[in-house]
């Protein structure tokens, strides 16, 4: 004789609840992400426009100092790299429910969550990083990112806006 219980519906409801929680968190982060992407994008496009205007001058004076043009190019690259990191963090967070455990550095996952919640936290608190060295761990980076995002947002919401 055997006994069994169909937990399919319970698992389905749990998956829906988890997805609902994730979507709510994404909604909260959307404004912050747009703000975070807009700032570096502004200086990327501004510097690229300035570089285009300076290109004719540089072509005419093929020799000489190009320090300002180099600085503008460096700023544009820095802005693009910052956008790449923000987008990577968002993609990691919004990945499907499929669990994939890989060796990762917890500090990197935490930094990704900090970047994604930066706008939300910045208006309520000053975030201080004081990381101790730690070995790599096997974890699902998307789920760990979600845990850190939830902790950061909950902590930020516990502090009245404008206070630290």
Any domain includes 164:
no
CB burial readout 15-24, b (16+ within 10 A) else e: eeeeeeebee
Any domain includes 2:
no
Q: Which of 154, 155, 85, 81 shows the shortest CA–CA distance to 115? A: 85
Any domain includes 162:
no
Any domain includes 163:
no
Any domain includes 153:
yes
pLDDT band at 77 (very low <50, low <70, confident <90, very high): confident
**Contact of 40 with 82, CB cutoff 8 Å:** yes
- When divided into structural domains, the chain yields a total of 1
Range of the domain at 28: 12-157
pLDDT band at 30 (very low <50, low <70, confident <90, very high): low
pLDDT average, residue stretch 120-128: 83
User: pLDDT digits over 136-155, tens only?
Assistant: 999 988 788 888 888 888 88
User: pLDDT digits over 82-117, tens only?
Assistant: 777 777 676 666 655 556 789 999 999 898 888 888
Any domain includes 6:
no
> What are the DSSP calls for 58-101, one per residue?
HHHT-SS--HHHHHHHHHHHHHHHHHHHHHHHHHHHT--S---E
Q: Which residue has the higher pLDDT, 140 or 41?
A: 140
β-bridge partners, 103 = 138
């Amino acid at each position: 004789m055997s006994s069994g219980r169909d937990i399919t519906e319970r698992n389905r409801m749990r998956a829906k609840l988890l997805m609902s929680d994730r979507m709510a968190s994404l909604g909260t982060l959307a404004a912050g992400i747009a703000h975070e992407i807009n700032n570096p994008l502004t200086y990327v496009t501004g510097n690229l426009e300035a570089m285009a205007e300076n290109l004719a001058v540089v072509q005419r004076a093929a020799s000489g100092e190009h320090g300002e043009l180099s600085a503008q190019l460096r700023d544009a690259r820095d802005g693009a790299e910052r956008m790449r990191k923000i987008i990577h963090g968002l993609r990691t967070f919004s990945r499907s429910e499929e669990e994939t455990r890989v060796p990762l550095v917890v500090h990197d996952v935490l930094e990704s969550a900090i970047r994604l919640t930066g706008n939300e936290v910045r208006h309520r608190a000053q975030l201080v990083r004081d990381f101790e060295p730690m070995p790599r761990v096997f974890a699902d980076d998307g789920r760990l990112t979600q845990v850190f995002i939830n902790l950061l947002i909950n902590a930020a919401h516990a502090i009245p806006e404008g206070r630290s």
